[in-house]
Structure 1
Amino acid sequence: MSATEHGHDPAVPSPLDGYVLEPHERPEDWGWHQEFKVVPRVLGWLAVISLLLMLIGNHTGRVENLWVIGTVAVIVAILIRDQIRRRNAWRN
């Protein structure tokens, strides 16, 4: 069995020729590993306000209103739960 049967031609250089494994670096040394603190909460409350503004309109049915109010209730519950969890969280 020759080398070309396995798909490797010795005349063509491999992309791994001369590859050197880099030493291990901790991700904290080169990356940003924190969380956004204020932005998601502000965007959540802006979403609640914009959804409540959708109740004002020229639609005649009530099903749309129920869906909007239900969505607002879910988002508000998530935001309040997040606020309570942050208040009672363990501190470093």
Structure 2
Amino acid sequence: MAATDLDKASTERAVATSVDPAEVPSAAWGWSGESRKTFRIAGWVVVVALLGMTIGNHQGHVEDIFLISLAGLMALIMIVDSLTQRMPK
């Protein structure tokens, strides 16, 4: 007999999470939360991309000031976040 939505197959594992699937729908299929490492890598990629945009044929350097300051702000936020994450609570 094939498994249906109402009759679970005996080979399926129950997902044990401490998150209520009603609040977080993705918890029902086994994933819930954030990947800090992925967000940090993406943040550093964005910082490098912003600094890479300063290379070009700019007549005035107002764009460069905004790009460098935004990249510096993002880098500062990520550094503070990584330092505060290491501190014991």
How much identity, in percent, do the aligned residues show?
33
Higher RCO (Cα < 8 Å, 6 or more apart): 1
Q: What TM-score does the superposition give when structure 1 sets the normalisation length?
A: 0.62
* Residues 39-58 of structure 1 mapped to structure 2, 5 A cutoff: 39-58=38-57
Q: Which residue of 2 aligns with 1:64?
A: 63
Q: CA RMSD in A?
A: 2.1
- The aligned amino acid for 1:56 is I
Which has the greater radius of gyration? 1
Measured in 1, the distance between the counterparts of 2:56 and 2:88 equals: 41
Q: Which blocks of at least 5 consecutive residues in structure 2 are unaligned? A: 1-18
Provide the C-alpha distance between the structure 2 equivalents of 1:89 and 1:35, rounded to a whole number of angstroms.
20
- The aligned residue for residue 75 of structure 2 is 76
Q: TM-score, normalised by structure 2?
A: 0.64
- Structure 1 regions of 5+ residues with no counterpart? 1-25
